[in-house]
Amino acid sequence: MCGICGVVSASGSVDPERVAAMSATLVHRGPDSAGEIADGTAALAARRLSIIDLETGDQPIANEDGTVHVVQNGEIYNYRELRRELERAGHVFRTHGDTEVLLHLYEQHGDAFAERLRGMFAVAIWDARRRRLVLARDRFGIKPLYYRDADGELAFASELRALPRGEVDLDAVEAFLAFNSIPAPLTIFREVRKLPAGHLLSWEDGAVRVERFARPAPLPERNDDQAELVEELRSRLRDSVRAHLVSDVPIGVLLSGGVDSALLAALAAEESAEPLRTFSIGFEERSFDELADARRVAERYGTQHRELVLRPDAALLLPALADAFDEPFADSSALPTYLVSELAASDVKVALSGEGGDELFGGYYTYAADLLAARAGGLARLARPLVERLPSSTAKASFDYRAKRFVRAAQLPPLERHHGWKEIFSRDMRAELTVRRSPFDPVDLLRARYEETSGADGLARLQDVDLGVYLVDDLLVKTDRASMAHSLEARVPYLDTVVTNLALALPTRHKVRGLAKKVLLRKAAEPLLPREIVRGKKRGFSIPAAAWLRGELEPFARETLSAETLHRQGYFEPSVVHRLLDDHVAGREDLSRQLWGLLAFTLWHERHVERAPGDVRVPELLAER
């Protein structure tokens, strides 16, 4: 795990000190060592978090004659097999880790090298012979990669903070308000783009070309016997976990108490020679607290278990989150993820996490609603007036919240309906809220993804949209930034092709059946986990934001979203924001996700636009608590 960055120029030399300064902004991603390579019109740098090959794995790494250099963020799980293949082809290795494999694979296969990789990665290769830069990002977008193509040069980095910023992109603001995150290729700044998942960028003589090299998508359905599929899934998960446990440093598991992370913990414990380390977050609010389930797993497998209970004052870390997430990000589960990562980082350098399980195996209530709406859209229209009168609850996944979302979107076309159940600010609400509008419709990004799977099963198409947008640009961003803020590598075994190649071929009946979700995954988990977890409700690191914003957090919200601040920043109408806050506090509707998004954007703007980022640091904020 590392942070990488670099600059290539078509018109003149690149100052190595400039790239060293970029690298310094990424020190949290790699505190163990730093390295740079300068080659006239190009310079690359890496910050290293030493996980594999502790002695010889520092980056950048060059080939035998020093004509090709590589920096990498991530882990390649099939590097040993690839190394043996390359050695048979005559390549000579000087290190023992996975990064050098990338060099020789590029020499052997050219840009097709990325297609051969099993793992999570953001890679930069400088080919001095051709004066050519190649960037590649893994097929699921687990590792981030940003770039800026302007002023006759291309600059890239693992995080936005290392690049020149420029003007805020109003298209990105529109997308943020719709999704609470910013989907690729957009970033919050107009001149900076994200390299999309599964894409490769090549730069040569100032010309930039971006191409897709991998596209996970629904596969032809497997109609095997369920018992056979259960055994195959369990075997594939075990294979993935075994690969993700390869490390020269201790590994733990972020354990939420739900079936996804619990199953990872069970398999990792069986594969580990020493007691596994597990880490959990809980809450005072009982409907959100999952510590009891996490303890059941920890006790069953004898793990070294640590846990932390979050209280409303944890929200004082919102400024620290705005600092760690260098573009607006408002998934409220980032807060417990940030803190459980801090807890884990005090014991281990690597932790397994359960991202991807819901999108692949049908874990969201929205998937059950997708199937129900196809049959009950008319009834939803008739029931809407009554449902809209239900009082707002602060309980986790409350009935009133779900019922209102369902009836409002049930009669829309399938994709718009699916988005409607998760949408933050609707198009009409965005028009009322924003001072400066963009005509861009963020849902067009979802429509483009959806159209690519025309002809596939209806639910599989919606899962694919979540896999390619929500997972990549929300959940994986959250996990990467929250963990790397504490120099912790998070690995996601569900997003291994060994697992996804089966999951993407499962018929709907093995994923969602009535209100039952993750049908096949739960069957695979039955011999390994307590009954309460296998049959339990969906779990995650969600927080009681609705209750907090109606209680201890209300003064903080009103101060942060003051009319003075909103006028100064110039994006949102203060009267609309204050009405939303008043409606939420009064219990007229649960608007916690909208308010959390406005808080996140406002705090981000203060730290990354109005003044230099990093002025507020985590240790100082923790001390204030």
Tally Cβ neighbours within 10 Å of residue 71: 30
CA dihedral (334, 254, 471, 44) positive or negative: positive
* Cα–Cα dist 88/466, whole Å: 41
Question: CA Rg, the chain, in Å?
Answer: 24
Q: C-alpha angle 329/333/337, rounded to 5°?
A: 100
H/E stretch holding 105: helix 99-109
* Cα–Cα dist 418/398, whole Å: 19
**Residues classed as catalytic:** 2
Q: How far is CA 552 from CA 26, 158, 314, 452, in A?
A: 34, 36, 11, 46
Burial of residue 207, with CB atoms counted within 10 A of its CB: 0-12 exposed, 13-18 middle, 19 or more buried:
exposed
Phi, psi of 36 (to 5 degrees): -140, 155
Q: C-alpha angle 472/466/344, rounded to 5°?
A: 45
H/E stretch holding 372: helix 365-387
Contacts of 616 (CB under 8 A, 6+ apart): 319, 320, 323, 607
Beta strand 350-352 with 277-283 is: unpaired
Query: Which residue's entry shows tokens 């990789």?
Result: 117
Q: C-alpha angle 607/610/614, rounded to 5°?
A: 30
Query: Which residue's entry shows tokens 């497997």?
Result: 222
* Cα–Cα dist 478/490, whole Å: 11
